């Protein structure tokens, strides 16, 4: 039973580099939180501060009901999986798994029982006598997971554990971690730069940039209601399209227009955009919300196809709209479309996102 509370957490490296800025975050007991962001955004530093591998410049970290700021890593009752597995190279898999338990002076019979349970769960039986360098990347990472499980800690910390694996193995391990969390519900913090991992694994996704938390929420809320342009562009693949448009009123309807695009805005957005009338804003369109062909002029625009990417299950279209490039996804794979074609792309008014061009924050009512 351990919630993690980060309270005004800061990390300075010297006087110049402020890696983590005022991070406030509460991770509930048994919750799986994914910290995601581009490299250098402070996510790994935050995790390492929770682990106790980095000093805290200011702020407070609580695990359960203890303030752990000054506790060494070994007293925090945590377990961590590292990007490069960090297995003890000179020990067999069994000794790797037993290392932490032996440090706790657990009797060998109990250690064996704990290891048996973990190997059962992860299918490691045949590997127990081998040395880490005789294992594949996927097997090594599984041993690293096992090393965490046997300890039965309060908190699991994952530091980009899947990024050294190839794409297929990564997808497998993702499922394995998810299954593991279902079997052994333990408070977990998972750091990744891959938004797909964050979205699929996290009960909650925390998007970070430049040392600050940009948004924390369920995968669906972060995807559906990004609070700023950065989050909107970072979450979702292919990335959201951004167009510069001017807000105008035509009769009763509010429209967003640029020389190449003119789209009617939903009622909710109309109210939000009241103050922006006659001003330029940034409009965001998710590629998967764009559909090919639709006669209704008020919710579609003309585009020139530049590149057709056939994926088998769908087509990705790279198109040019005026000066801007717009990607459209989810085009049915059998659609007859070729580079150079003129097409119309349509979008539901409710799917449009608007951002302030200066603050880049989402415009809401």
Partner 1 sequence: MAMVRTPLMFARLPIGGRRLLFGLAITGICLAVAFPVLWLILTSLRPESGVYYVHRGTEFTLASYAEVLLDERLIQAFVNSALISTLATIFSLLVTVSSGYMLSRFRGPAAQTWFGTIYVFRCVPYISWVLPLYFVAQSWGIYDTYIGLLLPHIAVHICFFSWLMKGFFDGIDPSMEHAALIDGCTRWGAFIRVALPSAIPAISALAVLCWLFTWNEFLFALILTGNKVPVITVVMAQFVTEMGLRWNLMAATAVMALVPAFLLALFGQKYVIRGLRI
Site residues (vs partner 1, CB under 8 A) = 51-53, 72-74, 76, 78-80, 82-84, 86-90, 99-100, 103-104, 147, 151
Nearest Cα to Cα of residue 128 among 139, 137, 79: 139
Of 88 and 129, which CB lies nearer to partner 1 in the complex structure? 88
Output the smallest distance, CB 147 to partner 1, in A: 8
Of 8 and 129, which CB lies nearer to partner 1 in the complex structure? 129
Of 131 and 249, which CB lies nearer to partner 1 in the complex structure? 131
Of 81 and 290, which CB lies nearer to partner 1 in the complex structure? 81
Of 148 and 264, which CB lies nearer to partner 1 in the complex structure? 148
Output the smallest distance, CB 89 to partner 1, in A: 5
Output the smallest distance, CB 39 to partner 1, in A: 17
Output the smallest distance, CB 287 to partner 1, in A: 37
CA distance 139 to 311: 30
Of 41 and 78, which CB lies nearer to partner 1 in the complex structure? 78
Output the smallest distance, CB 293 to partner 1, in A: 51
User: Backbone phi, then psi, for 338, in 5-degree steps?
Assistant: -135, 160
Of 143 and 198, which CB lies nearer to partner 1 in the complex structure? 143
Output the smallest distance, CB 152 to partner 1, in A: 13
Of 190 and 223, which CB lies nearer to partner 1 in the complex structure? 190
Output the smallest distance, CB 86 to partner 1, in A: 4
HEC readout, the chain: CCCEEEEEEEEEECCCEEEEEEEEEEECCCCEEEEECCCCCCHHHHHHHHHCCCCCCEEEEEECCEECCCCCHHHCCEEEECCCCCCCCCCCHHHHHHHHHHHCCCCHHHHHHHHHHHHHHHCCHHHCCCCHHHCCHHHHHHHHHHHHHHHCCCEEEEECCCCCCCHHHHHHHHHHHHHHHHHCCCEEEEEECCHHHHHHHCCEEEEEECCEEEEEECHHHHHHCCCEHHHHHHCCCCCCEEEEEEEEEECCEEEEECCCCEEECCHHHHHHHHHHCCCEEEEEECHHHCEECCCCHHHEEEEEEEEEEECCCCEEEEEEECCEEEEEEEECCCCCCCCCCEEEEECCHHHCEEECCCCCEECCC
Output the smallest distance, CB 65 to partner 1, in A: 21
């Amino acid at each position: 039973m351990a919630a993690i509370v980060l309270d005004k957490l800061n990390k300075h490296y010297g006087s110049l580099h402020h890696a983590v800025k005022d991070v406030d975050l509460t991770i509930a007991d048994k919750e799986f939180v994914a910290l995601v962001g581009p490299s250098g955004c402070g996510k790994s530093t935050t995790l390492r501060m929770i682990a106790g591998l980095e000093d805290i410049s200011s702020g407070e970290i609580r695990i359960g009901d203890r303030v752990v700021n000054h506790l060494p890593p070994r007293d925090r009752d945590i377990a961590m999986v590292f990007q490069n597995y960090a297995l003890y190279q000179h020990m067999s898999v069994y000794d790797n798994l037993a290392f932490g338990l032996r440090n706790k002076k657990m009797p060998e019979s109990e250690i064996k029982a704990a290891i048996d349970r973990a190997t059962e769960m992860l299918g490691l039986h045949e590997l127990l006598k081998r040395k880490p360098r005789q294992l594949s990347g996927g097997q090594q990472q599984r041993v690293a997971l096992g090393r965490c499980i046997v300890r039965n800690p309060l908190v699991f910390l994952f530091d980009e554990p899947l990024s050294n694996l190839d794409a297929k193995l990564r997808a497998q391990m993702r499922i394995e971690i998810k299954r593991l969390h279902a079997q052994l519900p333990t408070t977990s913090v998972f750091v990744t730069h891959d938004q797909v991992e964050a979205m699929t694994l996290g009960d909650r996704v925390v998007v970070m940039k430049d040392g600050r938390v940009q948004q924390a929420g369920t995968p669906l809320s972060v995807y559906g209601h990004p609070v700023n342009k950065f989050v909107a562009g970072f979450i979702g693949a292919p990335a959201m399209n951004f167009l510069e448009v001017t807000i105008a009123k035509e009769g009763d309807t509010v429209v967003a227009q640029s020389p190449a695009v003119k789209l009617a805005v939903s009622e909710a957005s109309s109210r939000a955009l009241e103050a922006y009338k006659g001003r330029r804003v940034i409009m965001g369109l998710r590629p998967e919300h764009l559909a090919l062909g639709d006669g209704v002029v008020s919710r579609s625009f003309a585009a020139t196809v530049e590149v057709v990417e056939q994926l088998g299950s769908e087509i990705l279209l790279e198109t040019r709209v005026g000066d801007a490039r717009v990607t459209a996804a989810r085009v049915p794979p059998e659609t007859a479309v070729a580079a150079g074609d003129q097409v119309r792309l349509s979008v539901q008014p409710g799917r449009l996102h608007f951002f302030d061009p200066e603050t880049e924050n989402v415009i809401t009512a």
